[in-house]
Structure 1
Amino acid sequence: MDDQAACLRLLSRPERDRHDAFKSEPARLQHLAVRGLVRTTLSRYRAIAPEHWRFDANRHGRPFIDDRLGVSGLHFSLSHTHGLVACAIATFAEFGVDAEPRDRDVGLAELAPAVLSPRERARFETMSGQARQDFFFTLWTLKEAYVKARGIGLSLPVKKLELDLEVSPPIAHFGDEIDDDASRWAFRSLRLTDRHIVGIAAAVPDGELEIVPRRTRAINPPLHV
């Protein structure tokens, strides 16, 4: 409860209102963990107290630091899923992060035609078990990270973004429907826990992507006696 109380004190009024509106306890805890993590993480890089950060969002819902704070050269991307909250920080704007559980049951066979390129799908069809799950969610998280990095919502045809996972790091190929240069982008897949896959997509200005993973304690759920 101390963790939750500390995080609650950091929230803005709209964040607190949204927290209070959640009907389920897991949803409230996840929202609290996301907002607490981004605030405390940003404060590692600027002399701004966690409770003083203010945020805005573009028309597609991508959040960013409120311009009125006068902060430059600091950007973030968020993802949350069952058991994990990911907050990526960079000095440049074009990057994104996405996280998924390795065992998520979402009907992969039905999703594959909408998400995977023909070549990716052909390889997917040869797989089974955990290898099939990992292959799909590695591609899913990398593509979702790219969508977040572009900040233009779900209009991108992700199956026209093809990733070659047989090389490390993955190499991307974009179809004509994606108005972008694939050579600008670096893609990385991480296993930050045994149960999750995390994808990062970044258009690094100098061409070199350096990732420094850090882990922090999650908010402890209340004890039920």
Structure 2
Amino acid sequence: MDHTESAPLMLRAGDLTPVWYEGVALWLIRLDHRRVRSQASCLSDEEHRRSASFRFDKDRQRYLAAHVALRERLAVFVGCPPEQLAFEVGEHGKPRLAKGSSGAARVHFNLSHSEDLALVALSEEEEVGVDLEVIRAVEDAPALAASVFGVNERRVLSELSGAQRDRAFLQGWTRKEACLKALGTGLSLSPLGFEAGLQDTVAEVVIDTPRYRERLALRSLAVGGPADTETPWVGAVARRLGRA
């Protein structure tokens, strides 16, 4: 993994214009359940069925709000009403625009949400992946690290404790997850098979998949503003660069 030191890319919830990074448009969206009642009609029956599977109403409402936000932004890129967008899933479950849909061949997207924030990424160039996590205590972090982090990542984590360790763990996890989502493999590809780092670095990550060796550009994200001393969320964006 090649990397250079860099501050994480700052995003602020509620900004109407996206933050651009290497051809990827990024929006951070505060999920408002009040809008869902008037906007949810644009969602498909499948999206409504998935929302109904959540146990708690707040989680159902956040799911619906996140998918409304995704459709609204995709519709602008593609040039059609949000309700006309049709989706399908790839081999490992990553959503994409259905073949034959307007823009299906040129618009790539990804969505992540945590608590009451959603992160949407759109690209007209390459596949993209994002992940967002609220900072929280990570129970049994050392044991969990053994199942997701490589040797160097575990060494860095072992030198930290308390809140610093929790933040580093979650930051490292978002970096791994963003890479796997960009490849479209999800956890069918072991996170132990590559290192993405725990620090705020811009990195080029090389991952061996069952078929090819893939290259990805990776950057950490922070949520908040310049006055914040500690942002409550961490995130990451990964963009597929092609085969190594």
CA displacement, residues 166-186 of structure 1 (integer Å, 9 cap, x when unaligned): 6731353557989424xx321
CA displacement, residues 83-116 of structure 1 (integer Å, 9 cap, x when unaligned): 2211111113422111111115343122100111
Correspondences of 1:7-26 after superposition (within 5 Å): 7-26=39-58
Distance 1:120 1:7, change over 3 A: same
Correspondences of 1:53-202 after superposition (within 5 Å): 53-71=85-103, 72-164=105-197, 168-172=201-205, 174=207, 179-181=212-214, 184-193=215-224, 194-202=231-239
Aligned length: 203
For the residues of structure 1 that align with 2:217 and 2:208, how far apart are their CA atoms?
17
Distance 1:176 1:150, change over 3 A: closer
What residue in structure 1 maps to residue 60 of structure 2? Answer: 28
In terms of fraction of residues, the more strand-rich structure is 2
Match of 1:6 among 38, 42, 45: 38
What residue in structure 2 maps to residue 214 of structure 1? Answer: none
What is the RMSD of the two structures over their aligned residues, measured on CA atoms?
Answer: 2.4
What residue in structure 2 maps to residue 48 of structure 1? Answer: 80
Can you give the 5+ residue segments of structure 1 that lack an aligned partner in the other structure? 206-225
1:151 is matched by which residue type in structure 2? Answer: G
Does the CA contact (< 8 Å) of 1:75 and 1:90 recur in 2?
yes
Can you give the 5+ residue segments of structure 2 that lack an aligned partner in the other structure? 1-32, 225-230
Does the CA contact (< 8 Å) of 1:156 and 1:178 recur in 2?
no
Fraction of identical pairs, as percent:
28
Higher relative contact order (CA 8 A, sep 6+): 2
Q: 1:16, CA displacement in angstroms?
A: 2.6
1:77 is matched by which residue type in structure 2? Answer: N
For normalisation by structure 1, the TM-score amounts to 0.80
CA displacement, residues 118-152 of structure 1 (integer Å, 9 cap, x when unaligned): 11111110101222122211211111111111112
Q: 1:2, CA displacement in angstroms?
A: 4.8
